[in-house]
A and B are shown apart, each in its own frame.
Chain A
Amino acid sequence: MSDHGPHKPDVKMYLFVFGALMVLTVVTVLVSWLHLPIHAAVAVGLMIATVKASLVAAFFMHLKGERKIIYGLLGMTVFFMIILFVLPLRDFHDLAPRTQHIAVGAEQP
């Protein structure tokens, strides 16, 4: 990044990333044809999606070589996003057995 100026465009890199994103999209669909068990499918799908999103963020959004304040802002966003994921899932994990018990009980005469 040039200091205090717009990011210097790198057209060759854009086209390379474009090719990588296309290939990874095809890979995502091909993997889904394997009909993996749900946990493995989620892990693989999430991994490929994360790689694709990282490529877009690093090169198209020029995060590679961005100012520290933007990294700090994104770090805070990721931190709160993780809380947003973890708290409801933890809550669900604790409550699910009880609610299932109630649901089963309700079905009995």
Chain B
Amino acid sequence: MSTLAPAVSYESDTGVTNAKLGIWLFLASEVMLFATLFTSYLVLRMGALSWPRGWEVLNVPLAMCNTFILITSSVTIVMAYAAVVERDKPKFKKFMLVTIGLSFGFLILKGIEYRAHFMHNEFPSTSIFNAIYFTTTGLHGLHVIGGIIVNSALLYLSDSQWDHPLFVGRVEGAGLYWHFVDIVWIFLFPALYLL
């Protein structure tokens, strides 16, 4: 670990790689997707004759643990990015592995939460609140699964592609996506559980 990551070609008219511009465009479309769901949440809540306060019907301590888990995973993935920039492969693998482990931890806690709802016969069709709760957290959960797949692939490919000039950009792109998943949860947590 002494040299920095190999140079890649940056587009002269944008100053960023096409891959980076692509991932930001993808995240912009993701913002619109989740914004649509948040708007639906607002309209449904304002139009409902009654709406439960989140803490009355949802497991706040479990969701708070999940918030801590996602924030920690955001730090570990940015540390993995720092390791790949500094050309420290063991450190990269360690932090990426911890990130993936935390992601599974998030899904396990979410599964426990879902199971408790199902045991009490609470399904998306039970109420409008449940419909929006399962839709938003379910879609977010799918994004977590997507992140696990991408991060696992990068961990697996790190041995064969470590010196590939685009590897740093791929890790950066995966990190940007993962931070976006974290940001979505930062808004979902208070909106669903605490209001």
* Residue A106 CB within 8 A of the other chain: no
Q: Is there contact, CB below 8 Å, between A22 and B195?
A: no
Q: Is there contact, CB below 8 Å, between B47 and A96?
A: yes
Question: Which residue of the partner chain A has the closest CB to B178?
Answer: A60
| Closest beta carbon of chain A to B34's beta carbon, Å | 9
* Residue A109 CB within 8 A of the other chain: no
Q: How many residues of chain B get a CB closer than 8 Å to chain A's CBs?
A: 54
Q: Is there contact, CB below 8 Å, between A25 and B64?
A: yes
Q: Is there contact, CB below 8 Å, between A69 and B21?
A: yes
* Residue B28 CB within 8 A of the other chain: yes
Tell me the residues in window 14-67 of chain B with beta carbons closer than 8 Å to chain A beta carbons: 14-16, 20-21, 24-25, 28, 31-32, 35-36, 38-39, 42-43, 46-47, 55, 60, 64, 67
Size class of the contact patch on chain A: 35 or more
Q: Is there contact, CB below 8 Å, between B5 and A49?
A: no
Contacts of A32 in B (CB 8 A): 55, 60, 190, 193-195
Question: Which residue of the partner chain B has the closest CB to A92?
Answer: B43
Bound form: Cα–Cα A76–B27 in Å: 12
Complex partner residue of B179 from A8, A60, A70, CB under 8 angstroms: A60
Bound form: Cα–Cα A65–B68 in Å: 27
Q: Is there contact, CB below 8 Å, between A53 and B187?
A: yes
> Which among A14, A17, A56, A68 has the greatest number of chain B C-beta atoms within 10 A?
A56
A-B contacts at CB below 8 angstroms, number: 132
Contacts of B109 in A (CB 8 A): none
Q: Is there contact, CB below 8 Å, between A89 and B10?
A: no
* Residue B153 CB within 8 A of the other chain: no
Complex partner residue of A53 from B7, B35, B82, B183, CB under 8 angstroms: B183
The 9 A-B pairs with the shortest beta carbon distances in the complex, nearest first, are A9-B82, A45-B190, A32-B194, A77-B28, A67-B15, A18-B75, A53-B183, A81-B35, A69-B14
* A interface residue numbers (CB < 8 A to B): 4-9, 11, 14-15, 17-18, 21-22, 25, 28-29, 31-32, 38, 41-42, 45-46, 48-49, 52-53, 56-57, 60-61, 67-70, 73-74, 76-77, 80-81, 84-85, 88-89, 92, 96, 99
* B interface residue numbers (CB < 8 A to A): 4-5, 7, 10, 14-16, 20-21, 24-25, 28, 31-32, 35-36, 38-39, 42-43, 46-47, 55, 60, 64, 67-68, 71-72, 74-75, 78-79, 81-82, 85-86, 168-169, 172, 175-176, 179-180, 182-183, 186-187, 189-191, 193-195
